[in-house]
A and B are shown apart, each in its own frame.
Chain A
């Protein structure tokens, strides 16, 4: 019996390995710096060395890769230049005043981006362009944080990256206008995978606000495998919002690798609404004491959607603080996976870590798999986690119904109240309103069950 079931599995593993290798190998960009091609080669080596993730490997326990492999995505090679600013109007956030960067299918678009005047000490631009014009600025920074991690898709990204966004803030630079990054995907005739690589680096005491949005034109089928590295210097402050609104046919893989120096502060909000299959890895490392990392998130998963958040926060030094607060609403046949790990090393005394994951299930066919983990080797710490899974309180519904509110509206109100706790953290106001509207619209489409 086992032999019979193993055979297709082995075949799938082989197909996957072949696919990964093809992507890793066939993408060397050629005319670039020695250090980067060395990095690429090592990454390609790591991809080769990795055993193919299956349901048996802990990191992919609840997230099957079969549907991804079956698509046979091939790398995007040519930039798509046909779009005009009018074409992207439909995906903009109304009333949002921001310095705008647009990437189309993973390639930085000069024509669509609108940076405006940048303050002193702030550089924003294309990774590809900077690798050509000023590679020294990136050496030792790019790939340092996402480094030799064993995440197969991050390694694949390193091997195959072609372009992306670079934001560099010098010491004490202050970027007051939010930086809006629109990752726009447009369907091609064959299913394509874009593998952009982004870098945000804030020098000592620098401050910035970044809004990343993943959007698409139409219901295209495509795959995004992006990696974002963030380096925060001493006392730096980054406010970061990520709104994932990929097409409902899309596959979305992102890795966010964060390195925080002493006293720095990172406040991130992740909103996951789109994609049929989405996997996000948030990885935080502290390189100085008294740093603070705040990760919050909201995800809505409906029919044929799988949304997976993996979090890995490692406290290696004393006196750091981390917060993870994720909330999810599941409807239809939606599935969500939450896997959070807080690791406190022996020397990381006085660590303050808190993790919570709360889920609301609206339909009998939805599923949530949550795994909040603590791994603690120091004794003078304050660490806790909490998880809940439940449905809307019948009493709360009854209360609203008895005041003449329709069942559908009552449910929407309660869900928005539940989600509001996360949405309210978002800034600026235009973005907050936009996300509230998106979530509200989405909830409106959920049939009563």
Chain B
């Protein structure tokens, strides 16, 4: 048998060009630091008593405790999903502490009462709460580990009738609203991680926008994982009542550490008749060091339900962090003429792995969905787009356009596309396009010839590649996202 001739020469030249930029790669994680604040933490481990303890500490109504316990028992029977193209050691769920709250003497009534160390943390992250309060008009419900510590602009929102608070507060103040909607889009039994989240979620955000109300400002939450060994199990529930509009921003950074941390959040969006929800995410959890050590496991279930006619849900995400991302923000287009959108930029470098995408389930008539996914994979980064477009038999006139492009930087990176398309209606129009390529020598040469450094040239090309998605982000976020992208790609280029 003749051996397979390996074409060594081509590979070698590639490696050489890559090596040229490797020195630039080791730009450390910008947001890596640990804030030293005493935390009230449960010992690691998970059983019924832990769930009861969490529920008790939160002072939750009894139905919630039961709900959690039911979810827990279902979760025990569920297998860990293995279909995603990501690899990681088995997670020991008994080694995680499921509750951690910063200790506080009395609940802060205003920003002045907030622990100054915390405020400093936010400032390091570039979230000037005071400044935002004064200038940007953004209400921030900053989550420090598991309990909300600073909530601003509550009153202004209250005037408009918008409820914006942590989910724990919502369980106290608006239990019937929470009870009506929680788990109605993402049931606890949806998958392994939603089961876990439903059993142990500690905090998160609740938003309710009443009928015919346009939320007067963009709502924003910064999540942050702090205390070592506490997984964060956030639960976000946003309900937009008939004819309302809300834009919600979510951004994350996490301090540098060596142990893998689990983040299994659940986000549920509900849009009733004529309502619109815009949900934007900039995700920059700690991705691990250059050997892939440490880093956050980001196993998130996000789903929006366009329950009403002419409703709209739009997901925009910029994913640059986490060691592993497993995330499929989805839309169920139930109402007639409802619209779903998914815009995504995902960057994987170092040893990062991302398996992300969306699901668009067309059930109503004349429903429309747009998917634009841009993946950038550098160094040893691994990335997969996994998407489902399902057009049900009664989804007359449904329309979908999908575009997923991948950009590969360096010959050790990888990019995959796994689209699932199921069409059961003849009047449906469905298009899917995907390309995979690298930055061409010609493009680079053109920019270089005009005096741009290689890095600037690449940054410019990449930003152009992602423009379609950045355009969907709210202004403040778009700037941050672009900055994040250039920082992420710093030195990863070749």
Contact = CB atoms under 8 A, between A and B. Distances in A.
Interface of A: 58, 62, 287-289, 316-319, 346-347, 349-350, 359, 361-391
Given A370-B421, A373-B418, 12 more contacts: A317-B6, A319-B7, A346-B412, A367-B423, A372-B417, A374-B416, A376-B416, A380-B438, A387-B432, A389-B428, A390-B430, A391-B428
B423 A316 contact: no
B67 interface: no
A389 B421 contact: yes
Interface string B424-441: 111111111111111000
Interface in B448-466: none
A386 B432 contact: yes
19 contacts: A288-B5, A318-B10, A347-B6, A363-B426, A367-B423, A368-B422, A371-B418, A371-B420, A377-B414, A379-B14, A379-B408, A379-B413, A381-B408, A381-B438, A385-B432, A387-B421, A387-B430, A388-B430, A390-B430
B5 to A, nearest CB: 7
Contacts, number: 136
A6 B273 CA distance: 39
A376 B415 contact: yes
B432 A380 contact: no
B411 interface: yes
Contacts of A376: 406, 408, 414-416, 436
B426 A391 contact: yes
A289 to B, nearest CB: 6
Contacts of B83: 58
B11 interface: yes
Interface string B1-22: 0001111001100100000000
Nearest to B9: A318
Given A287-B4, A288-B5, A350-B10, A381 B436 contact: yes
Interface residues of B, number: 42
Which of A289, A362, A363, A380 lies at the interface centre, i.e. has the most chain B CB atoms within 10 A of its CB? A380
A288 B83 CA distance: 32
A319 to B, nearest CB: 7
Contacts of B417: 372-375, 385
Contacts of A382: 436-437
A247 to B, nearest CB: 27
Nearest to A261: B2
B308 interface: no
A156 B402 CA distance: 39
- Mostly helix, strand, loop or mixed at chain B's interface? strand
A448 to B, nearest CB: 12
Given A364-B425, A367-B424, A389-B421, A379 B410 contact: yes
B183 interface: no
B425 A388 contact: no
A86 B191 CA distance: 61
A362 B437 contact: no
B255 interface: no
Interface of B: 4-7, 10-11, 14, 83, 391, 393, 406, 408-438
B4 A361 contact: no
A350 B437 CA distance: 10
In the A-B complex, the 4 residue pairs with the closest CB atoms: A379-B408, A361-B426, A387-B432, A389-B430
Identify the interface centre among B7, B391, B417, B426: most chain A CB within 10 Å of its CB: B426
Contacts of A385: 417, 432-434
Nearest to B8: A347
B14 A349 contact: yes
Given A367-B422, A379-B409, A384 B434 contact: yes
A109 to B, nearest CB: 35
A349 B6 CA distance: 11
B5 A289 contact: yes
A368 B426 CA distance: 10
A316, A318, A363, A379 — most chain B CB neighbours (10 Å): A379
A384 B435 contact: yes
B419 A359 contact: no
Nearest to A378: B411
Contacts of A371: 418-421
Contact of B14 (A58, A380, A389): A380
A364 B424 CA distance: 7
A376 B429 CA distance: 28
Contacts of A387: 419, 421, 430-432
A359 B421 CA distance: 11
B54 to A, nearest CB: 28
Contacts of B414: 375-377
A389 B10 contact: no
A190 B74 CA distance: 47
A364 B406 contact: no
A427 to B, nearest CB: 31
Nearest to B399: A390
Nearest to A382: B437
Contacts of B6: 317, 347
A369 B422 contact: yes
Contacts of A347: 6-7, 11
A370 B428 CA distance: 14
Contact of A349 (B10, B429, B431, B436): B10
Nearest to A347: B11
A61 to B, nearest CB: 8
Contacts of A384: 433-436
B437 A381 contact: yes
B216 to A, nearest CB: 42
Contacts of A346: 411-412
Nearest to A366: B426
B393 A389 contact: no
B418 A361 contact: no
B37 to A, nearest CB: 44
B46 to A, nearest CB: 23
B444 to A, nearest CB: 13
B419 to A, nearest CB: 6
B409 A361 contact: no
Contact of A383 (B424, B427, B436): B436
A118 to B, nearest CB: 28
Given A374-B436, A384-B436, A388-B431, A368 B418 contact: no
A350 to B, nearest CB: 7
B411 A361 contact: no
Given A349-B411, A381-B436, A388-B432, A369 B420 contact: yes
Contacts of B406: 374, 376
A289 B10 CA distance: 12
Contacts of A364: 393, 425-426
A299 B38 CA distance: 67
B424 to A, nearest CB: 5
Contacts of A372: 417, 419, 432, 434
Contact of A389 (B410, B415, B423, B435): B423
Contacts of A361: 423, 425-426, 428
